[in-house]
Amino acid sequence: MNAAALLLLALAADPAAKAPSKPAAPAAGMTERQKTVYALGVSAAESFKVFELKPEEVAVLSRGLSDALNNKPLKVDMQTYRPKVNALAQKGFVAQSKALLARYGAEKGAVTTATGLVYLEVKPGEGAKPGPEDTVKVHYEGRLPDGTVFDSSRRRGDAASLPLDKVIKCWQEGIQKMKVGGQATIACPAELAYGETGRPPTIPPNAALVFQVELVGIGAPGK
């Protein structure tokens, strides 16, 4: 994922997920436009968290932003360093994904399967379990390792009907563990989700994903 895509992803991030835990301090002396531009900087900062920058590196980043935005001569050859930026981002995504799977795997009641999927029952169901060729009706919310919501049927207000043999491997495995009426958290290794290619611009390459899933119902096989 390139730097522009990272920024777009940050700006599209879930507002609720990124809301500060404390009330915002008053922006004394700032115009409304300055406040908006400041908010742009805060939003853009989300895209840089994957790099785990040190304080002294933030200063170097600021110099790069300033030089580029002000059309000043650049200090590095971008043909050489743009691929290195992307490689550094990929390294960060892989580290975030490993940490996410380890965190969910350590939850009480979590089961890590042979494929690396982490399954955590939130609410037991009482109905039937779906088979591998069934069509399931589900409510779900999907998040990236940094907490960004990338898809949510609940936000759309309509449960999704999906054939299990056409969805990502993580869902094929995880949803078959559920009973109708049940709810579960399913943490998916990248190789069971969108793998090395991701799903641009929403899902980065090599990203683990977390889904909150409710199995609403089961249709007939192939329906």
| Catalytic residue (one of 48, 104, 119, 140) | 140
Structure tokens given for 117 = 């999927």
- Per the annotation, the verdict on 211 as an active-site residue is yes
| Catalytic residue (one of 14, 51, 81, 168) | 168
User: Crossing angle of helices 3-11/78-105, nearest 10°?
Assistant: 50
Averaged confidence pLDDT in the chain: 86
Using 50, 70 and 90 to split pLDDT, how confident is the model at 148?
confident
| Catalytic residue (one of 48, 104, 119, 194) | 194
Q: What is the pLDDT of residues 175-204, one digit of tens each?
A: 999 999 999 999 999 999 999 888 988 888
What's the average model confidence in pLDDT over 93-108? Answer: 92
Cα separation, 116 vs 59, in Å, equals 38
Using 50, 70 and 90 to split pLDDT, how confident is the model at 4?
very low
Using 50, 70 and 90 to split pLDDT, how confident is the model at 72?
very high
Q: What is the pLDDT of residues 125-145, one digit of tens each?
A: 998 999 999 999 999 999 998
pLDDT value, residue 200: 85
- Per the annotation, the verdict on 151 as an active-site residue is yes
- Considering only residues 205 and 215, tell me which one the structure prediction assigns the higher pLDDT: 215
| Catalytic residue (one of 14, 51, 67, 151) | 151
Structure tokens given for 21 = 């835990």
Q: What is the pLDDT of residues 19-55, one digit of tens each?
A: 444 556 667 788 999 999 988 888 888 778 888 889 9
Residue 164: closest CA among 205, 209, 112, 219 = 219
What's the average model confidence in pLDDT over 6-25? Answer: 47
* Global confidence as pTM: 0.72
4: exposed, middle or buried (C-beta count within 10 Å: 0-12, 13-18, 19+)?
exposed
Provide the residue ranges of all domains of the chain, joining segments of one domain with +.
1-223
Statement: residue 210 has pLDDT above 80: yes
191: exposed, middle or buried (C-beta count within 10 Å: 0-12, 13-18, 19+)?
middle
- Per the annotation, the verdict on 51 as an active-site residue is no
pLDDT value, residue 52: 85
pLDDT value, residue 8: 42
- Per the annotation, the verdict on 104 as an active-site residue is no
- Per the annotation, the verdict on 48 as an active-site residue is no
pLDDT value, residue 130: 95
Statement: residue 161 has pLDDT above 50: yes
What percent of the chain lies above the pLDDT cut of 90? 61
What's the average model confidence in pLDDT over 74-95? Answer: 90
| Catalytic residue (one of 150, 175, 186, 203) | 150
In Å, the largest CA–CA distance within the chain is: 65
CATH class in words for 1-223: alpha beta
Going 190 to 193 to 197 to 199, the CA torsion angle's sign is negative
Cα separation, 133 vs 214, in Å, equals 18
Among 1-5, 58-62, 117-121, the minimum mean pLDDT is found in 1-5
- Considering only residues 148 and 223, tell me which one the structure prediction assigns the higher pLDDT: 148
- Per the annotation, the verdict on 150 as an active-site residue is yes
